[in-house]
Amino acid sequence: MASSTTTTGQIIRCKAAVAWEAGKPLVIEEVEVAPPQAMEVRVKILFTSLCHTDVYFWEAKGQTPLFPRIFGHEAGGIVESVGTGVTDLKPGDHVLPVFTGECKECAHCKSEESNMCDLLRINTDRGVMINDGQSRFSINGKPIYHFVGTSTFSEYTVVHVGCLAKINPAAPLDKVCILSCGVSTGLGAALNVAKPKQGSTVAIFGLGAVGLAAAEGARISGASRIIGVDLNSNRFNEAKPFGVTEFVNPKDHNKPVQEVIAEMTGGGVDRSIECTGSIAAMISAFECVHDGWGVAVLVGVPNKDDAFKTHPMNLLNERTLKGTFFGNYKPRSDIPSVVEKYMNKELELEKFITHEVPFSEINKAFEYMLQGNSLRCIIRMEA
């Protein structure tokens, strides 16, 4: 690892996996990483993970393509140096970069009910730093774009201080790095938003990593029945270790899945959490909760032209519909305590990690994800 005493204020040359074109294999390149500017931090990345969001924007299907770019947003690392104005981080601190931030000054950050920072909310179209509109990455003077303010597929990256969670240095970064995005999103959707009570029934729509994290949250909450809903029946066995007790494949029934769940549960589940982004699944998740007290939580991101349609009586009959962003966790204030849940053995992370590859083989992580047999693949930045 480069010594911060010798690299502070200097350009660092390191390896990064650069996406030059949509859908083409990443190329390990030597890049130049500029020093952090005001309110920025340069981080040595030790472990990173591949999330479906990286794949989605790498494929560039349905959004504005922005290349060349360094992807990656689930990671763990160590602070190498800090820019002016940074007071709560110092070289050597262990951190998790997060795709959304917490400036601690805007109305959202000051609210106990919101984590949607005005300054640092996710912006997938921005490929530069907000401080000066410039990239901190370059190759032979040519700028390389950032991704969601993190760009962790690089041995060093520069991140706004508000997008870094300072964590327990004893926490293993190769495990807790997956708390930067998907696992925290699903876990928080259950613990912070749905809030199932002891002995309650919960339906989870979509059993990918986010849905399984939601199931984990329901399990931690003491739910007695956790019904997994997925179009892939093979996922039931994979979901059992996360607390899923029953499984429904909508394709196996000739009636809407919300009716199937209502019949299974005597009128509907107490809570449902939708983790697919499918508008049909969102409607089913809402309509399958029990009248009078049922709460449905939407996590998945729909297509931009989708519209949610349900009869108003479903609301008037005292069903509640909620949305959530990053599990309602504030990155700097809350993620350190999620790491402590793992350290205290309240939260199991190992079962989310299905593969591990060295940085030189990062394209294998994309293959695993595209084959559909990977929850999280850990990428070791050092051999």
Exposed/middle/buried for 276, CB within 10 Å: 0-12, 13-18, 19+? Answer: buried
Establish whether 181 is a catalytic residue: yes
Rounded distance between C-alpha atoms, residue 148 and residue 125, angstroms? 8
Establish whether 377 is a catalytic residue: no
Active-site residue identified among 117, 163, 288, 377: 117
Active-site residue identified among 14, 29, 42, 53: 53
User: Would residue 111 be called left, alpha or beta, if left means φ above 0 and alpha means ψ between -120 and 50 degrees?
Assistant: beta
Establish whether 103 is a catalytic residue: yes
Active-site residue identified among 14, 40, 51, 94: 51
Active-site residue identified among 40, 80, 376, 377: 376
CB 222 within 8 A of CB 199: yes
Rounded distance between C-alpha atoms, residue 159 and residue 136, angstroms? 9
CB 272 within 8 A of CB 247: no
Establish whether 74 is a catalytic residue: yes
Active-site residue identified among 59, 121, 245, 348: 121
Active-site residue identified among 8, 59, 106, 354: 106
Q: Report the b/e string of 176-200 with b at 16+ CB within 10 A.
A: bbbbbbbbbbbbbbbbbbbebeeeb
SS3 90: coil
Active-site residue identified among 40, 74, 80, 238: 74
* Number of Cβ within a 10 Å radius of residue 63: 12
Quick one: which of 275, 293, 144, 140 has its CA closest to 218? 275
Active-site residue identified among 14, 103, 177, 377: 103
Establish whether 160 is a catalytic residue: no
Q: What is the dihedral of CA 313, 316, 320, 324, to 10 degrees?
A: 70
Q: What is the DSSP string of 256-275?
A: -HHHHHHHHHTS-BSEEEE-
Q: Could you tell me the two tokens for 94?
A: 């262990």
- Chain center to CA of 218: 18
Establish whether 288 is a catalytic residue: no
Quick one: which of 197, 141, 138, 155 has its CA closest to 43? 155
Active-site residue identified among 52, 124, 126, 320: 52
Active-site residue identified among 181, 275, 288, 377: 181
Active-site residue identified among 14, 109, 275, 377: 109
Active-site residue identified among 73, 108, 146, 290: 73
Establish whether 73 is a catalytic residue: yes
DSSP-derived pairing of the beta strands 156-160 and 142-144 = unpaired
Establish whether 64 is a catalytic residue: no
CB 217 within 8 A of CB 188: yes
Establish whether 14 is a catalytic residue: no
Which residues are the active-site residues?
51-53, 73-74, 103, 106, 109, 117, 121, 181, 376
